[in-house]
Structure 1
Amino acid sequence: MSEAVEHSEKHRGAFSSRKVFILAAIGSAVGLGNIWRFPYVAYENGGGAFILPYLIALLTAGLPFLLLDYGLGHRYRGSAPLSFRRAARASEGLGWWQVGICFVIAVYYAAVIAWAARYAFFSFDKAWGDDPEGFLFGSYLQAGDPGISLDFVSGVTVPLVLVWVTVLALMALGVQKGIGVASTIFIPILFAAFIALVVVALTLDGASVGLDALFTPDWSALGETSVWIAAYGQIFFSLSVGFGIMITYASYVGRRSDMTGSGLVVGFANSGFELLAGIGVFAALGFMATASGVGVDEVATDGLGLAFIAFPAIINEAPAGALIGVLFFGSLVVAGVTSLVSVIEVVISAVRDKFEMSRVGASMAVGVPAAVISITLLGTTTGVYVLDIIDHFINRFGILVVAVASMLALVWVFRKTSLLREHLNRDGSVQVGRWWELLIGVFAPAALTFILVNEFIDNIQEPYEGYPTWMLATLGWGVAVAVLVLGFVAARLPWRESTFLGDPEIQARQDERSS
Structure 2
Amino acid sequence: LIMRNFKLAYPDSERIDTGIKTRARGQWSSKVEFILAVAGQIIGLGNVWRFPYLCYKNGGGVFFIPYVVFLFACGIPLFLMETALGQYTSQGSVTCWRKICPLFEGLGYGSQVVVFYSSTYYIIILAWAFFYLFSSFSGELPWASCRNWWNTENCVEFDRIGGTRNLSFMENASSPVKEFWERRVLNITGSVNELGSLRWELALCLLLAWIICYFCVWKGVKSTGKVVYFTATFPYAMLLVLLIRGLTLPGAIDGITFYLYPNPARLTDPQVWMDAGTQIFYSYALCIGCLTALGSYNKYNNNCYKDCVYLCLLNSGTSFVAGFAIFSVLGFMAFEQGVDISMVAESGPGLAFIAYPRAVAMMPLSQLWSICFFLMIILLGLDSEFVGLESLMTAITDMHSNFFLQGHRRKLFLLLICVACFLIGLLMVTEGGLYIFQLFDYYSCSGMTLLLFALAQSICIGWFYGADRLYENIVDMIGYRPLTLMKYCWKYITPIVCIRLRVLCTPASDLPLTSERRKETL
Classify 1:197/1:369 alpha carbon distance in 2 versus 1 (closer, same or farther; 3 Å). Answer: same
- 1:76 alignment counterpart: 89
- 1:285 alignment counterpart: 330
Matches within 5 A, 1:136-215: 136-147=181-192, 149=195, 151-176=197-222, 178-215=223-260
Classify 1:150/1:225 alpha carbon distance in 2 versus 1 (closer, same or farther; 3 Å). Answer: same
Query: 1:203: Cα distance to partner?
Result: 1.0
Counterpart of 2:510 (choices 463, 466, 475) is 463
Higher helix share: 1
- 1:362 alignment counterpart: 413
Counterpart of 1:388 (choices 438, 446, 449) is 438
Query: 1:453: Cα distance to partner?
Result: 3.8
Give the distance between the partners of 1:289 and 1:214, measured in 2 at CA: 13
Query: 1:6: Cα distance to partner?
Result: 1.3
Give the distance between the partners of 2:502 and 2:33, measured in 1 at CA: 34
- 1:484 alignment counterpart: none
Classify 1:355/1:145 alpha carbon distance in 2 versus 1 (closer, same or farther; 3 Å). Answer: farther
SS of 1:145's partner is coil
C-alpha contact (below 8 Å) 1:352/1:362 kept by paired residues:
no
Which string of whole-angstrom CA distances, capped at 9 and with x for unpartnered residues, describes residues 366-423 of structure 1? 2221222122x212112211111211122224333222222222222x2332222112
C-alpha contact (below 8 Å) 1:30/1:335 kept by paired residues:
yes
SS of 1:92's partner is helix
- 2:171 alignment counterpart: none
Query: 1:466: Cα distance to partner?
Result: 5.5
| 2:474 paired with 1:424 | yes
Give the distance between the partners of 1:384 and 1:169, measured in 2 at CA: 27
| 2:26 paired with 1:13 | yes
Query: 1:271: Cα distance to partner?
Result: 0.8
C-alpha contact (below 8 Å) 2:181/2:354 kept by paired residues:
yes
Give the distance between the partners of 1:84 and 1:300, measured in 2 at CA: 43
- 2:294 alignment counterpart: 249
Classify 1:430/1:279 alpha carbon distance in 2 versus 1 (closer, same or farther; 3 Å). Answer: farther
Which string of whole-angstrom CA distances, capped at 9 and with x for unpartnered residues, describes residues 210-248 of structure 1? 001111111222232221211111111101111100000
- 2:377 alignment counterpart: 332
SS of 1:180's partner is helix
Give the distance between the partners of 2:392 and 2:371, measured in 1 at CA: 32
SS of 1:416's partner is helix
Amino acid at match of 1:364: L
Query: 1:327: Cα distance to partner?
Result: 1.5
SS of 2:28's partner is coil
C-alpha contact (below 8 Å) 2:100/2:465 kept by paired residues:
no
C-alpha contact (below 8 Å) 2:219/2:411 kept by paired residues:
yes
Matches within 5 A, 1:332-351: 332-351=377-396
C-alpha contact (below 8 Å) 2:58/2:266 kept by paired residues:
yes
- Across the aligned residues of Structure 1 and Structure 2, the Cα RMSD in angstroms comes to 1.8
C-alpha contact (below 8 Å) 2:88/2:473 kept by paired residues:
yes
SS of 1:315's partner is helix
- 1:314 alignment counterpart: 359
SS of 1:465's partner is coil
C-alpha contact (below 8 Å) 2:220/2:390 kept by paired residues:
no
Classify 1:137/1:430 alpha carbon distance in 2 versus 1 (closer, same or farther; 3 Å). Answer: farther
Amino acid at match of 1:441: K
Classify 1:282/1:27 alpha carbon distance in 2 versus 1 (closer, same or farther; 3 Å). Answer: same
Deviates more, 1:151-160 or 1:389-398: 389-398
C-alpha contact (below 8 Å) 1:35/1:278 kept by paired residues:
yes
Q: Which has the larger radius of gyration?
A: 2
Unmatched runs of 5 consecutive residues or more in structure 1: 469-515
Query: 1:24: Cα distance to partner?
Result: 0.6
Give the distance between the partners of 1:313 and 1:373, measured in 2 at CA: 31
Give the distance between the partners of 1:132 and 1:384, measured in 2 at CA: 17
- 1:227 alignment counterpart: 272
C-alpha contact (below 8 Å) 1:315/1:324 kept by paired residues:
yes
C-alpha contact (below 8 Å) 1:411/1:417 kept by paired residues:
yes
- 1:55 alignment counterpart: 68
Classify 1:103/1:64 alpha carbon distance in 2 versus 1 (closer, same or farther; 3 Å). Answer: same
Give the distance between the partners of 2:263 and 2:418, measured in 1 at CA: 46
Aligned residues: 462
- 2:173 alignment counterpart: none
Give the distance between the partners of 2:500 and 2:511, measured in 1 at CA: 19
| 2:148 paired with 1:101 | no
C-alpha contact (below 8 Å) 1:75/1:420 kept by paired residues:
no
Give the distance between the partners of 2:360 and 2:479, measured in 1 at CA: 45
Give the distance between the partners of 2:368 and 2:248, measured in 1 at CA: 13
Deviates more, 1:79-88 or 1:178-187: 178-187
Classify 1:5/1:227 alpha carbon distance in 2 versus 1 (closer, same or farther; 3 Å). Answer: same
Amino acid at match of 1:406: Q
| 2:129 paired with 1:129 | no
C-alpha contact (below 8 Å) 1:70/1:246 kept by paired residues:
yes
Give the distance between the partners of 1:445 and 1:123, measured in 2 at CA: 47
Give the distance between the partners of 1:17 and 1:150, measured in 2 at CA: 49
Quote the sequence identity (%): 27
Give the distance between the partners of 1:181 and 1:310, measured in 2 at CA: 34
Query: 1:433: Cα distance to partner?
Result: 4.4
Which string of whole-angstrom CA distances, capped at 9 and with x for unpartnered residues, describes residues 139-177 of structure 1? 21111133263621012111100000110111112212x
Which string of whole-angstrom CA distances, capped at 9 and with x for unpartnered residues, describes residues 473-497 of structure 1? xxxxxxxxxxxxxxxxxxxxxxxxx
C-alpha contact (below 8 Å) 2:60/2:262 kept by paired residues:
yes
Which string of whole-angstrom CA distances, capped at 9 and with x for unpartnered residues, describes residues 97-121 of structure 1? 1011000000001100111121122
Classify 1:318/1:255 alpha carbon distance in 2 versus 1 (closer, same or farther; 3 Å). Answer: same
C-alpha contact (below 8 Å) 2:53/2:346 kept by paired residues:
yes
| 2:346 paired with 1:264 | no
Unmatched runs of 5 consecutive residues or more in structure 2: 1-11, 146-175, 516-522
Give the distance between the partners of 1:129 and 1:385, measured in 2 at CA: 26
Classify 1:60/1:431 alpha carbon distance in 2 versus 1 (closer, same or farther; 3 Å). Answer: farther
- 1:217 alignment counterpart: 262
Query: 1:71: Cα distance to partner?
Result: 1.6
Give the distance between the partners of 1:218 and 1:430, measured in 2 at CA: 42
C-alpha contact (below 8 Å) 1:348/1:366 kept by paired residues:
no
SS of 1:256's partner is coil
Q: TM-score, normalised by structure 1?
A: 0.86
Give the distance between the partners of 1:293 and 1:78, measured in 2 at CA: 56
Counterpart of 2:461 (choices 407, 410, 425) is 410
Give the distance between the partners of 1:451 and 1:126, measured in 2 at CA: 44
Give the distance between the partners of 2:268 and 2:479, measured in 1 at CA: 36
- 1:398 alignment counterpart: 449
Query: 1:58: Cα distance to partner?
Result: 1.3
Which string of whole-angstrom CA distances, capped at 9 and with x for unpartnered residues, describes residues 460-513 of structure 1? xx2223569xxxxxxxxxxxxxxxxxxxxxxxxxxxxxxxxxxxxxxxxxxxxx
| 2:391 paired with 1:378 | no
C-alpha contact (below 8 Å) 2:189/2:196 kept by paired residues:
no
- 1:442 alignment counterpart: 492
